[in-house]
């Protein structure tokens, strides 16, 4: 029997003789191996010791979509997808959305504890002091095509922002990292508003540091012609809760992009620009826009059953439904359902809401969706809320990005402060040609 203990020690953990092991027999050689188990996982590198002969590279694990691969240890966020549980630093999402404010939750995500009053005041002051946007960013917003998708605009601006702060390259310095984190939390809403105002043809706007983080964001988005945006308090509260609900979600596609890109030690602005690019896609954060576009394709309640059929027969996906991790319900969707009720009371009735409710009702009774454990996710109703606030669908994913920035930078900081972090570099199974000889141009 061979032990892969040596590889385990080299990679991540120490092992003692009482440690649980997975015993695996390789039918190609008849050899049996002991793979140490820690936290219900085996180390992928331990598989490398399983070889047919000495020349063999060793076994790898195959996991397209990384559906069953742990990429590291993290203390930021806990999800139990089977039970529909989401917690940041041990606090339940339902309680945070009900009782917290966005900056308070951002501090919690970043630092691991709820802030006391003095800590929160200091954090607010730090963020406010960092809201001064470099003049070049305004110039950049002016030259970008106003019809460009707002997420493409944000991705470009986040990346360009890194060029304004060359000190950010010192990614192994904790102090420097903290400074960039504050800048990114402070400036992402400003960049989002710059892009929004450019698209809507609105003039420049001053930040209002005396407002809350969310209040200032809404002011930058909505105030026009010298007139202050006058949003019902229920709507500002709903926006704040939406930002909290979207703040963090462990190893999702965009956080994984931030981690993978950040692992090259590039500055954090490039890393979060990659995160924003990942979020942009309709299977991830772009789903909130896609839900509204889907609702626009359904004219009346009578058309809903046929639309559901088209989702079942593979013509399209029911956007805002399904999740890689949640197989019972998405706890964020439940909170959003309650928020939606408060928002729709304060706004004009939206005929799309009835269509969404009918889609949900029919899907939740249909074996296609129930057997595949497809439930409404965070994005099913969030777009309707943004829409009720007067925003266009193309802006929705930008709001998600503003909220998720704290999750991205916290993952980046956690990763960069871990001395064991290595550049992310997966393997592949090569399916191309075997080596062949060069063919001269005239012979092709």
Q: Among all residues, which ones are annotated catalytic?
A: 284, 323, 379
Contact between 359 and ligand CMC by CB under 6 A: the answer reads: no
Quickly tell me which residue has 């949003």 as its tokens. Answer: 231
Strands, E, within 262-370: which ranges?
none
Backbone Cα Rg of the chain:
24
Backbone angles phi, psi at 418, to 5 degrees: -95, 115
Q: Which of 48, 51, 237, 317 binds ligand CMC (CB under 6 A)?
A: 317
Looking at beta carbons only, is 115 or 322 nearer to ligand CMC?
322
User: Is residue 99 classed exposed, middle or buried when 0-12, 13-18 and 19+ CB atoms within 10 A define those classes?
Assistant: exposed
377 contributes a contact to ligand CMC by CB under 6 A: yes
Q: Which of 87, 104, 358, 379 is close enough to bind ligand CMC by CB under 6 A?
A: 379
Question: Among the candidate windows 44-52, 89-97, 268-276, 318-326, which touches ligand CMC by CB under 6 A?
Answer: 318-326
Nearest-approach distance from CB 377 to ligand CMC, in angstroms: 4
Closest to ligand CMC by CB, 156 vs 377, is: 377
Backbone angle region of 201, left / alpha / beta, with phi > 0 → left and psi within -120 to 50 → alpha: left
Residues of this chain, 423-442, that bind ligand CMC according to CB under 6 A: none
Query: Based on CB atoms, which residue is closest to ligand CMC, 154 or 319?
Result: 319
Residue 372 lies near ligand CMC (rule: CB under 6 A): yes
- Contacts made by residues 322-326, CB under 8 angstroms, sequence distance 24+: 322/372, 322/374, 322/375, 322/377, 323/81, 323/375, 323/377, 324/67, 325/79, 325/81, 326/79, 326/81, 326/84, 326/375, 326/377
Q: Is 17 exposed, middle or buried (0-12, 13-18, 19+ CB in 10 A)?
A: exposed
Residues 223-252 that bind ligand CMC (CB under 6 A): 249, 252
Q: Assess 298 for contact with ligand CMC (CB under 6 A).
A: no
184 versus 401: smaller Cβ distance to ligand CMC? 401
Q: Nearest approach, Cβ of 376 to ligand CMC (angstroms)? A: 9
Of 220 and 291, nearer to ligand CMC (C-beta) is 291
Question: Of 185, 271, 378, 385, which one interacts with ligand CMC (CB under 6 A)?
Answer: 378
Neighbours of 128 (CB within 10 A): 17
The answer to whether 283 contacts ligand CMC (rule: CB under 6 A) is yes
Instruction: CB nearer to ligand CMC: give 6 or 372.
Output: 372
Q: Whose Cβ is closer to ligand CMC: residue 199's or residue 249's?
A: 249
- Selected from 106, 247, 274, 311, the binder of ligand CMC by CB under 6 A is 311
* Nearer Cβ to ligand CMC (123/380): 380
In whole angstroms, the minimum distance from the beta carbon of 113 to ligand CMC comes to 25
The Cα 286–Cα 395 span in angstroms is 10
Q: How far is CA 388 from CA 26, 266, 270, 351, in A?
A: 59, 39, 33, 11
Residue 386 engages ligand CMC in binding (rule: CB under 6 A):
no
How many residues belong to the chain? 444
Smallest distance from ligand CMC to CB 64, Å: 10
Residue 176 burial (CB < 10 Å; 0-12/13-18/19+)? middle
Residues of 401-425 as b/e, b for ≥16 C-beta within 10 angstroms?
Answer: bbbbbbbbbbbbbbbbeeeeeeebe
What's the CA gap between 180 and 411, in Å, rounded? Answer: 13
323 scored as a contact of ligand CMC (CB under 6 A) = yes
Site map 21..60 versus ligand CMC, x via CB under 6 A: ----------------------------------------
Residues 168-207 that bind ligand CMC (CB under 6 A): none
Q: Which residue is nearest to ligand CMC (CB)?
A: 322
State the Cα–Cα distance between residues 282 and 297, nearest whole angstrom.
Answer: 16
Q: Which residues bind ligand CMC (CB under 6 A)?
A: 65, 249, 252, 283-285, 287, 311, 317-324, 372, 374, 377-379
């Amino acid at each position: 029997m061979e032990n892969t203990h040596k590889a385990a020690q080299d990679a991540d953990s120490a092992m003692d003789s009482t440690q649980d092991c997975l015993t695996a027999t390789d039918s190609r050689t008849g050899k049996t191996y002991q793979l140490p188990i820690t936290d219900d996982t085996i180390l992928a590198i331990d598989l490398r010791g399983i070889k047919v002969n000495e020349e063999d590279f060793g076994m790898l694990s195959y996991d397209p979509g990384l559906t069953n691969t742990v990429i590291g240890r993290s203390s930021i966020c806990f999800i139990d997808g089977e039970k529909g549980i989401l917690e940041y630093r041990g606090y339940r999402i339902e309680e945070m959305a009900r009782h917290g404010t966005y900056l308070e939750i951002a501090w919690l995500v970043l630092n691991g504890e709820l802030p006391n009053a003095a800590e929160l005041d200091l954090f607010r002051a730090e963020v406010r002091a960092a809201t001064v946007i470099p003049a070049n960013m305004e110039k950049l917003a002016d030259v970008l095509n106003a019809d460009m998708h707002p997420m493409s605009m944000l991705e470009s601006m986040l990346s360009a922002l890194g060029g304004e702060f060359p000190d950010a390259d010192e990614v192994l310095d904790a102090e420097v990292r903290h400074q960039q984190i504050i800048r990114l939390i402070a400036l992402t809403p400003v960049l989002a508003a710059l892009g929004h105002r450019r698209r809507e043809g609105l003039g420049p706007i001053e930040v209002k540091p005396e407002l809350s983080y969310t209040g200032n964001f809404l002011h930058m988005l909505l105030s026009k012609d010298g007139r202050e945006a006058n949003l019902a308090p229920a709507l500002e509260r709903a926006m704040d809760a939406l930002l909290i609900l979207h703040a963090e979600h462990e190893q999702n596609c965009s956080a994984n992009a931030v981690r993978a890109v950040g692992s090259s030690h590039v500055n954090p602005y490039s890393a979060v620009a990659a995160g924003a690019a990942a979020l942009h896609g309709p299977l991830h954060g772009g789903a909130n826009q896609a839900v509204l576009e889907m609702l626009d394709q359904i004219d009346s309640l009578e058309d809903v059953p046929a639309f559901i059929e088209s989702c079942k027969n593979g013509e399209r996906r029911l956007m805002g439904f399904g999740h890689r991790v949640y197989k019972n319900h998405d706890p964020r969707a439940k909170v959003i359902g309650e928020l939606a009720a408060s928002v729709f009371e304060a706004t004009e009735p939206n005929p799309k809401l009835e269509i969404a409710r009918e889609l949900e009702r029919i899907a939740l009774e249909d074996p296609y969706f129930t057997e595949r454990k497809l439930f409404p996710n965070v994005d099913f109703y969030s777009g309707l809320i943004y829409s009720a606030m007067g925003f266009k669908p193309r802006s929705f994913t930008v709001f998600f990005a503003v909220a998720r920035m704290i999750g991205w930078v916290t993952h980046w900081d956690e990763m960069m402060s871990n001395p064991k972090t290595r550049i992310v570099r997966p393997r592949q199974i090569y399916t191309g040609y075997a080596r062949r000889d060069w063919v001269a141009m005239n012979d092709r």
